[in-house]
Chains A and B, each alone.
Chain A
Amino acid sequence: MSASTVTAADMPRQSLFREAISLERRLFRAERLVLLITVILLAAVAYALFNGAAWRDRQGSLLASAQLEEATRLDEQRDKLTKMNAGSFTPTSSFQNPRNPLWVGLRHAATYAALPATPLAITAIGQSDLNPPYVLVSADSRETFALNEEIENPGNLLAGRFDLAFFVVFLLPLVIVTLSYNLLSAEREQGTLAMAASNPVRLALLLWAKLSYRAAVVLVPLVVFVLAGLLLLGAPIFEADGPVRIGGWLLLVTAYVGFWFAVTAAVTVLGRGSAHNALMLVSIWIVLVLVLPTVGSVAVNLSFPVPSRAEMINSLREVKTDSARTADAGAAKYALEHETDRNGGAVSDKDFEAARKRVLSVQLAAEQIASTMAVYDRQIARQRSTIAWLRFLSPAVLMQDALNTIAGTGDERYADFSVQVDAFHQQWQQYFNARVLANEPLTLRDYDAFPRFVYRPGSVSTVIGPLASALIGLLLPMLLLFAYAIRRIERYPITDRA
């Protein structure tokens, strides 16, 4: 390029490629396209990340106020117990008694099991609007707390949120389509393609240069804005497994962008007009992003229908009534809640009897409740494992799933959280039930030794595994489409057919 005497044929491939790229750059500059795309990306990324950060902050303050509520509640109990020990407080009922392991385990010390946000939580709201980040665990049976929900206008849940994952999965392909639906066709329509082809440059190289330049126009500002946004909004991307997640995110987005450019390349080499290409690309987008996911959702639902929760409610009630009858705890609960016990602070014989019955009834019901609820979990798990395969049909599903995983807001993480909560619930029940059945009063030292929930994050492989399969699912069709494009481009018509 430096010496004008060197002919094009003598030039190494690399500089031809560079030449083509710089031509593209001039064309884009003339149309101010780079600026336009950059502005669109900046606006979308800023808005999406800002929304994601607002959501993360809301979730965070939710957890903080939950923990504050729990601490205040426990302090109140400790305070009562101290006063009781000093003789300055006498509970009016066994419910009010801070030594009574029954009601302390059931209500007063009930503890929040919290699911911490991941470093990249702001990139995908995912399923976190349906699954609250905490569960209030008590010694009561599982169904009383395990499925509790956050208050929300269902209209908001239906609409969904504008987060970065939404922008990447839904809108980024459209940006790519808009940039490249007329990749070669426009030049052919203007007659300049024949001119370009008269140079000793292969069409494949020209196409490759055009694609690379456009990919850079999309990817470079996107990556820069996202990284800058994450840092500005205080996402702890260097903490814990943050680097793995951010690395995964970058790989995924690159692969997804690559896939959509491969689609445009494959459509381009068919050699039809610009308008036809645009229609075809939009149709492909609709099928991959709208039709396949909704139809897939229906198919999964029909294959593994989750039974009605209405049925569960009634059958659980049947189970609980039966076990309560067996333990004759129904009356006991009533007595506990309504009869005052003025015989001092100790758990009286009458209260002990009632407490024992209540614990027995919860224990009797536990197994059946677990097996009834397991039916639902099993069906949902089957749906999930079917989708693990189905998602390979639609890169959009693949991508959304993977982005949720990276943000820690996917189905799998909530399922894992729920399993950990169940295990902790059993530990909690054992701790308190043993004391109820032994009629053992709680001491201040016990208060400090109550079981605490600590979330055990999955190993890095729980992120890398799905990430790797998603990458394969994106890169394989991408390579196939590019291979097709390279083969087929030899037959590309460089002039409009008359």
Chain B
Amino acid sequence: MSATIEALTPNASSPPPPAGVIPTIARKELTELLRDARLKWAGGLIALLMLTALLLGWQQQEQLDAERASARSETYQQWLGQGEKNPHSAAHFGQYAFKPASPLSFLDPGINPYVGATVWMEAHKQNEFRFRPARDATSLRRFGDLSISFVWQVLSPLLIVLLTFNAFSGERERGTLRQLLSVGVRPSQLLAGKLLALGALLAMLLIPPILLGMLLLLVIDDHHLSAVDTLGRSGLMLAGYAIYLGGFALLALAVSALCGSSRKALIVLLAFWVANAFVAPRAITDLAARLAPTPSALDFQAALTKAKRANFGHDENHPAFIEFRDSILKQYGVTRIEDLPVNFRALSLNEDDERGYRIYDEHYGRLWAIYQEQERIRALGGVLFPLTALQPWSMAMAGTDIAQQNHFAAAAEHYRRGIQKAMAGDMIKNRPNDSSEYVAGPELWSSIKPFEYTPPSAADVVPGQLSSLLILLIWAAAAAALAITAVRRLQPT
């Protein structure tokens, strides 16, 4: 500290203080921080964890993506190789959809461990995704995943707290605050200088892994997303983390200025850190689940089954079936099914499917709306505890949030309906109305192109998450306001 005072004293004899006050403070603070043994240990550990998380995450993502790619081509080969059969039977055989790994999921795996990446696209049914990876792991996994997002969301704020809790209170306890103020340093300059130093330090710690991450991104061979889009997404993701960590730095400085002692500041900050990282996400999740409860699989299926009773399915005595049959006979001006120029059974299958789509859209739409409501409640908690607003933003940019999972689910469903339509269409045209067998072959199967998924672009994703970013900004602004108020009231004793 004496270095700062010496550096400032010659100029400080006559107010106003020199223009170089802030950089001088920042330089001195940075030197002091770098000498701090706390930083060597904590920073070293964090750097090591980040490196491990990056390389492991990247390697696992590459492996996962390769597995899914080969599974995709295999399921399509099985579709092509199913032999000659009735097209509706082929529709029953169906295909599987495997969600490609998003290129940025190695930074933030998000919901990936807790959601299936696979769905069976079969006739008559819009299925649920299956095989949550977390179920193939042990309870150890519930402690969290080692990922860059874990380090940045949970550990980095703690590092900030540990480095900053005595920023002002420590100066006061050592008596250097009085000296500083007496030479004419304005508290706001002190705040800016300390903030700058902290920023520089975090940059030193965080920029190398960011560069490494970028490098790994270049190596990822992904044709699903353009490089520009990936770059845009990572930039936006980093912006969210910058706001989050900046807000934490401001809050820590504010608390350090407000608290009478370093000890108190440390306790207040640690309590906030624990609440933000561990308590709030769980407590708000419980609250969201209570306000917008998820239906059970059983209830969901029962509701679907009930709604589908209005459809005739394969039941030829169903009133809806009879009504439909009569309308078709009337449309073609015939009285007997045998006289129809098109295959009636296929026509009725197609009709039943069309009616089913409306039911599925309604029910899945309602389910996804519940998820969205839960996410909205969670993000709102970010006004107090920023992690619950940062998390959705980070996951959205990484392509690992529920909205993008459902985007994939919708695309798979669209593809499934395409198969149904094509199979029924072929039968409507080609299958005779008598009871003779009708089979199609590989030409028909290959008329269905392989399922290619195009993830939404950053521009599509950002609008849905602007509210999270806004909440994060509000929180950070509140932290800034608190910091400014706190240093204005700064008392040397």
Give the B-binding residues of A (Cβ under 8 A).
Answer: 47, 51, 54, 58, 62, 65-66, 69, 92-93, 126-127, 130-132, 147-162, 166, 170-171, 174, 178, 182, 274-275, 278-279, 282-283, 286, 289-291, 293-298, 300-302, 306, 308-311, 313-314, 317-318, 321, 330-331, 334, 337-338, 340, 376, 379-380, 383-384, 387, 390-391, 396-397, 400-401, 404, 410-411
Interface assignment of B488: CB less than 8 Å from any CB of chain A: no
- Chain A residues with Cβ below 8 Å from B405 are 154
- Complexed CA–CA distance, A308 and B112 (Å): 13
B294 x A404 contact (CB < 8 A): no
The 4 A-B residue pairs with the shortest CB-CB distance, nearest first, are A293-B143, A310-B71, A154-B111, A154-B114
Q: Most chain-A Cβ atoms within 10 A of its Cβ — which of B116, B138, B371, B378?
A: B138
A384 x B138 contact (CB < 8 A): yes
Contact partner of A314 (CB less than 8 A), chosen from B96, B132, B134, B267, is: B96
Bitwise interface map of B from 43 to 87 toward A, beta carbon under 8 Å scored 1, else 0: 001000100100010000000100110010011001000100110
B283 x A62 contact (CB < 8 A): no
- Complexed CA–CA distance, A404 and B158 (Å): 29
A161 x B282 contact (CB < 8 A): yes
10 further A-B contacts with Cβ under 8 Å, apart from A171-B274, A174-B270, A334-B88, are A51-B286, A147-B131, A154-B114, A155-B378, A156-B294, A275-B263, A308-B64, A383-B138, A400-B143, A411-B139
- Chain A residues with Cβ below 8 Å from B131 are 147, 309
Q: Return B428 CB to nearest CB of chain A, in Å.
A: 16
- Complexed CA–CA distance, A182 and B264 (Å): 12
* Residue of chain B at shortest CB distance from A47: B283
- Complexed CA–CA distance, A6 and B39 (Å): 53
Contact partner of B144 (CB less than 8 A), chosen from A151, A154, A293, A302, is: A293
Bitwise interface map of B from 13 to 25 toward A, beta carbon under 8 Å scored 1, else 0: 0000000000000
Contact partner of B297 (CB less than 8 A), chosen from A151, A302, A331, is: A151
B285 x A151 contact (CB < 8 A): no
- Complexed CA–CA distance, A321 and B116 (Å): 24
B371 x A310 contact (CB < 8 A): no
Interface assignment of B374: CB less than 8 Å from any CB of chain A: yes
Task: List the one stretch of B207-215, B298-306, B414-422 in contact with chain A.
Answer: B298-306
* Residue of chain B at shortest CB distance from A334: B89
Interface assignment of B141: CB less than 8 Å from any CB of chain A: yes
30 pairs, CB–CB < 8 Å, chain A vs chain B: A47-B283, A65-B299, A69-B298, A149-B297, A150-B297, A151-B128, A151-B294, A154-B405, A155-B375, A156-B294, A157-B111, A159-B282, A161-B286, A171-B278, A171-B279, A278-B266, A279-B162, A291-B49, A297-B143, A300-B140, A306-B136, A309-B136, A310-B67, A310-B71, A311-B71, A314-B96, A330-B85, A338-B88, A390-B140, A391-B140
A314 x B71 contact (CB < 8 A): yes
A157 x B296 contact (CB < 8 A): no
Interface assignment of B479: CB less than 8 Å from any CB of chain A: no
B314 x A153 contact (CB < 8 A): no
- Chain B residues with Cβ below 8 Å from A149 are 116, 128, 130, 132, 135, 297
- Chain A residues with Cβ below 8 Å from B111 are 154-155, 157-158
Q: Return B46 CB to nearest CB of chain A, in Å.
A: 10
- Complexed CA–CA distance, A286 and B460 (Å): 38
Q: Return A193 CB to nearest CB of chain B, in Å.
A: 17
Interface assignment of B331: CB less than 8 Å from any CB of chain A: no
Q: Return A248 CB to nearest CB of chain B, in Å.
A: 17
Q: Return B116 CB to nearest CB of chain A, in Å.
A: 7
B296 x A154 contact (CB < 8 A): no
Contact partner of B402 (CB less than 8 A), chosen from A155, A178, A338, A391, is: A155
- Chain A residues with Cβ below 8 Å from B115 are 154
Q: Most chain-A Cβ atoms within 10 A of its Cβ — which of B86, B141, B267, B281?
A: B141
Q: Return B466 CB to nearest CB of chain A, in Å.
A: 18
* Residue of chain B at shortest CB distance from A63: B298
B137 x A383 contact (CB < 8 A): yes
- Chain A residues with Cβ below 8 Å from B286 are 51, 161-162
B158 x A286 contact (CB < 8 A): yes
Q: Return B247 CB to nearest CB of chain A, in Å.
A: 21
Given A157-B114, A297-B145, A321-B78: A411 and B64 within 8 A (CB)? no
- Complexed CA–CA distance, A308 and B60 (Å): 11
Bitwise interface map of B from 288 to 313 toward A, beta carbon under 8 Å scored 1, else 0: 11100011111110100000000000
Interface assignment of B92: CB less than 8 Å from any CB of chain A: yes
A166 x B85 contact (CB < 8 A): no
Contact partner of B138 (CB less than 8 A), chosen from A161, A166, A300, A309, is: A300
Q: Most chain-B Cβ atoms within 10 A of its Cβ — which of A159, A171, A301, A410?
A: A159
- Chain B residues with Cβ below 8 Å from A390 are 140
Interface assignment of B226: CB less than 8 Å from any CB of chain A: no
Give the A-binding residues of B (Cβ under 8 A).
Answer: 38, 41-42, 45, 49, 52, 56, 64, 67-68, 71, 74-75, 78, 82, 85-86, 88-89, 92, 96, 98, 110-111, 113-118, 128, 130-146, 150, 154-155, 158, 162, 166, 262-263, 266-267, 270, 274, 278-279, 281-286, 288-290, 294-300, 302, 314-317, 367, 370-371, 374-375, 378, 401-402, 405
A152 x B294 contact (CB < 8 A): yes
B56 x A161 contact (CB < 8 A): no
B143 x A294 contact (CB < 8 A): yes
Contact partner of A291 (CB less than 8 A), chosen from B45, B68, B71, B139, is: B45
- Chain B residues with Cβ below 8 Å from A170 are 278
Given A293-B140, A311-B67: A151 and B75 within 8 A (CB)? no
- Chain A residues with Cβ below 8 Å from B135 are 130-131, 147, 149
- Complexed CA–CA distance, A155 and B400 (Å): 10
Given A126-B139, A131-B135, A387-B138: A153 and B402 within 8 A (CB)? yes
Given A306-B137, A330-B89, A401-B139: A297 and B67 within 8 A (CB)? no
Q: Return A162 CB to nearest CB of chain B, in Å.
A: 4
Contact partner of A294 (CB less than 8 A), chosen from B136, B145, B295, B314, is: B145
B140 x A156 contact (CB < 8 A): no
A65 x B294 contact (CB < 8 A): no
- Complexed CA–CA distance, A298 and B52 (Å): 10
- Complexed CA–CA distance, A424 and B236 (Å): 53
Contact partner of A153 (CB less than 8 A), chosen from B116, B132, B371, is: B371
A295 x B64 contact (CB < 8 A): no
A150 x B49 contact (CB < 8 A): no
A92 x B146 contact (CB < 8 A): no
- Chain B residues with Cβ below 8 Å from A338 are 88, 314
A308 x B67 contact (CB < 8 A): yes
- Complexed CA–CA distance, A295 and B144 (Å): 9
* Residue of chain A at shortest CB distance from B111: A154
Given A156-B285, A275-B262, A330-B89: A397 and B302 within 8 A (CB)? no
B146 x A295 contact (CB < 8 A): yes
- Complexed CA–CA distance, A370 and B82 (Å): 23
A313 x B289 contact (CB < 8 A): no
B140 x A387 contact (CB < 8 A): yes
- Complexed CA–CA distance, A308 and B134 (Å): 12
Q: Return B410 CB to nearest CB of chain A, in Å.
A: 16
A166 x B143 contact (CB < 8 A): no
B71 x A156 contact (CB < 8 A): no
B128 x A157 contact (CB < 8 A): no
- Chain B residues with Cβ below 8 Å from A289 are 143
* Residue of chain B at shortest CB distance from A379: B136
A54 x B290 contact (CB < 8 A): yes
- Complexed CA–CA distance, A286 and B92 (Å): 52
Contact partner of A162 (CB less than 8 A), chosen from B56, B88, B279, B298, is: B279
* Residue of chain A at shortest CB distance from B297: A151
- Complexed CA–CA distance, A289 and B263 (Å): 23
* Residue of chain A at shortest CB distance from B136: A306
B150 x A294 contact (CB < 8 A): yes
A397 x B297 contact (CB < 8 A): no
- Complexed CA–CA distance, A314 and B76 (Å): 10
B298 x A62 contact (CB < 8 A): yes
Q: Return B293 CB to nearest CB of chain A, in Å.
A: 8
- Complexed CA–CA distance, A294 and B143 (Å): 6
Q: Return A65 CB to nearest CB of chain B, in Å.
A: 6
- Chain B residues with Cβ below 8 Å from A384 are 138
A290 x B86 contact (CB < 8 A): no
